[in-house]
Amino acid sequence: MVQTLLVANRGEIACRIFRTCAAWGIRTVAVHSDADENALHVRAADTAVRLPGATPAETYLRGDLVVKAALAAGADAVHPGYGFLSENAGFARAVLDAGLTWIGPPPEAIEAMASKTRAKELMGVAPLGEADVTEADLPVLVKAAAGGGGRGMRVVRRLDELPAALEGARAEAASAFGDGEVFVEPYLAHGRHVEVQILADTHGTVWALGTRDCSLQRRHQKVIEEAPAPGLSPGLEEELHGLAVRAARSVSYVGAGTVEFLVADGRAHFLEMNTRLQVEHPVTEEVFGIDLVAQQIRVAEGHALPVDPPPARGHAVEARLYAEDPARDWAPQTGTLHRLDVPPGVRLDTGYTDGDTIGVHYDPMLAKVIAHAPTRAEALRRLAGALERTRLHGPVTNRDLLVRSLRHEELAAARMDTGFYDRHLPALTAPAPDPHAPLAAALADAHGRSRFGGWRNVPSQPQVKRYETAGQEHEVHYRHTRQGLAADGVRVVHADAHTVVLEADGVRRTFEVARYGDEIHVGGTRLTALPRFPDPAAQLAPGSLVAPMPGTVVRVAEGLAEGAAVQAGQPLIWLEAMKMQHRITAPATGTLTALHAEPGQQVEPGTVLAVVRETPSQERP
C-alpha cells in the first residue's frame, strides 16, 4: 500500500491530490522551483524538496531530479498530476525503475496514446502531412503531439501562414512539454468538444464515466466544463462510451484517462486520449460521487473496481478562474492575490491563498470553482451566483467573463460550440462598472482624513478624486458638510474606511471597500486611484508598443530594423509568459522608428519594445 506520495507537479492539482492523501492517511511530498518556494502546495505537503531554477525546463520537466527528490524524501509512490511530465513514458519508466509505485497508466499505454499522432493512427484517423496541406484543406490546426492545455496550437487559415505556425507551435510545445513534435489536422470551428472519463483497473474492468462538454475555450484551452454533456442523443452517447472503452482496451490502459472528441453534425470525431487526470475531472467526481484521485491510488495498489460504476446524479459545472484580461487578448496578469474568498455551497480547488504572488513562469489559473445541483439550470445559476459574490482582490481576472458566460442564452440553451468566444467576446468583455463604485471608493478614502471630519463653517468646494476601471476614467465629486460626507444624486447613509452605504432613488446598497495602495476593490469592481493632475512626463510617444505583461522576448520578426515599413496588425515581437507565446503587432501602417527588443530580453509590463510612426492615409500608396 502507498504510504508516502510525491506529487510531481505544482499549484492547484498538487493541493487537490494532497487533500485526498490527507483523508486516506498518506504522507505527502511536494517538489518546488525557486519561484514556488512559498507556494501553497509546498505549505500543504508534509515534506518538500527544492528543484533549483525557475522555468519548467529547469525544474518540473526534469524527471531525473523529481525521481531523486522522491527517493531522498522517502516516498514510495509518484503521482504526476496533469501537464509537465504526466504523459511522459520515459518519466513513468524512471519512476518504476527506481522501485517506486507509478500512479498512472503503463509506460507502453502512454507511448501509444500520449503522442496524438500515434493515437490517431491507432484509432484509424490519419493526420495531415505538413507538405500535403492544400487550399482545400483549410482551415487546419497545428497541434502539439505531446501535451494539451492550448499550448503548441495554431489555427491556420492561409497557406502562407503555415510555416510560421509550425515554428511557433514547435517552440511553445518544447518549452511547455519538453517535446517539440507537432502535427496538422482539419479544423472544425463550430463543433462541440465532448469527452469521456475512463477508469480502468488491472483486472480487466473499464468504466466509462459519462460525458463532459468542454466547448467554451479560449486559445484552445478550456474555460467552462460540465457533466454530463447536454443534448446528446442516447445513440451518440453510447457511441462515445464505446469508442472510449475501445481506446482504453486497445492499449491495455490502467488508471484514469480521458478520450476526447469533436462532435459536429451529430457525428463523433476522435481527437486524442489524455493518459492522465484532466483539469476538469471534478465535474465527473461531483456527478458520480467518487474521488478519482483515490481511485487512481487504489488501482495502482492492485485493487479491483466493481463491475459497474456508481449511478450518475444531477449536473455539475466548473469554471476556471484565471489571472488574465480577456478584453486585452487574454493577457496573463501577475502580482499579489490579496484575497480569494468564495462563498459556501460550491467546491473550490485552488493553489493560492490570500497574500500569495501570481508569478510569470506558470499557467495563470487561480482556481476552479465547481457547482453541483439536481438540474443543469440550477447548477449554472449556482455557479454564476457564487462567482459574482466571490471576494477577489488582486490582478485583473476573467471572473466577470465567467459570470456573463454562465448566464448567456446560448449556454443556457446548450447551443454552445468551440467558436463561442469568437462570436461573443466583445459583448462579454464590454466594460460595465458599477456606477456607484468610484463614489464609494472616494467616500471610504475620505473617511477620517480630518479629525473634524473635514467640515468648515464656510461653503466648501467639492472634493475631486479620479479612478480608472476597465480602461475608463471616472471623476468623482463629493463634499464635507455639517451632516458628514455628501454627494449629488445619492444619500450617503454611512461611510467608513471599509463600508459605504448609499441610497439612490429609494434603493439602498451596501458596498464593501478594500484598498491596497492605489488598487481599490469595491464589491466586484476593481479600480485604480489616479493622481488628480497626471504627470506629463509619464506620457508615451504615439505608436509605442509596450509589453502587456512581464515575460521574455523570444523572437523578433525576421529582418525587422529601425526604418522598416510595417503593416497594421503585422506581428513584430513575440513574448513568452506563463508558458504561452504572445504576439506584439504593429498598431498601424507606418514606419518602425525605434526597436528596443531583442531575443532573450526580460521585460516588465509597460516596457517600450518598439515605436511605429503611422503613415497618414493620404500618403499611403
| Cell numbers representing residue 274 in the block | 489524455
Spatial CB neighbours of 354, under 8 Å, sequence gap ≥ 6: 337, 338, 339, 340, 341
Angle separating helix axes 420-428 and 399-406, nearest 10 degrees = 110
Rounded to whole angstroms, the Cα distance separating 541 from 45 reads 49
Rounded to whole angstroms, the Cα distance separating 510 from 502 reads 7
Q: Which position among 276, 320, 376, 479 bears the catalytic label?
A: 276
**Cell match 480502468: residue?**
200
Decide if 21 contacts 327 (C-beta within 8 A).
Answer: no
Decide if 383 contacts 346 (C-beta within 8 A).
Answer: yes
Rounded to whole angstroms, the Cα distance separating 434 from 212 reads 35
User: Is residue 571 within a helix (H) or strand (E), and if so which, with residue range?
Assistant: strand 571-577
Spatial CB neighbours of 167, under 8 Å, sequence gap ≥ 6: none
- The residue among 134, 180, 186 whose CA lies nearest residue 160 is 134
Exposed, middle or buried by CB within 10 Å (0-12, 13-18, 19+), for 114?
buried
Angle separating helix axes 107-114 and 89-97, nearest 10 degrees = 170
Rounded to whole angstroms, the Cα distance separating 210 from 241 reads 7
Exposed, middle or buried by CB within 10 Å (0-12, 13-18, 19+), for 186?
middle
Q: Any catalytic annotation for residue 276?
A: yes
For every residue of 19-43, which 3-state class applies, written as one string?
HHHHHHCCEEEEEECHHHCCCHHHH
Decide if 109 contacts 254 (C-beta within 8 A).
Answer: yes
Rounded to whole angstroms, the Cα distance separating 341 from 319 reads 15
Fill in the amino acid letter for 544.
S
Q: Exposure string (b/e) for 74-109, b if CB count within 10 Å is 16 or more?
A: ebbbbbbbbbbbbbbbebbbbbeeeebbbbbbbbeb
Decide if 572 contacts 619 (C-beta within 8 A).
Answer: no
Which active-site residues does the annotation give? Answer: 276
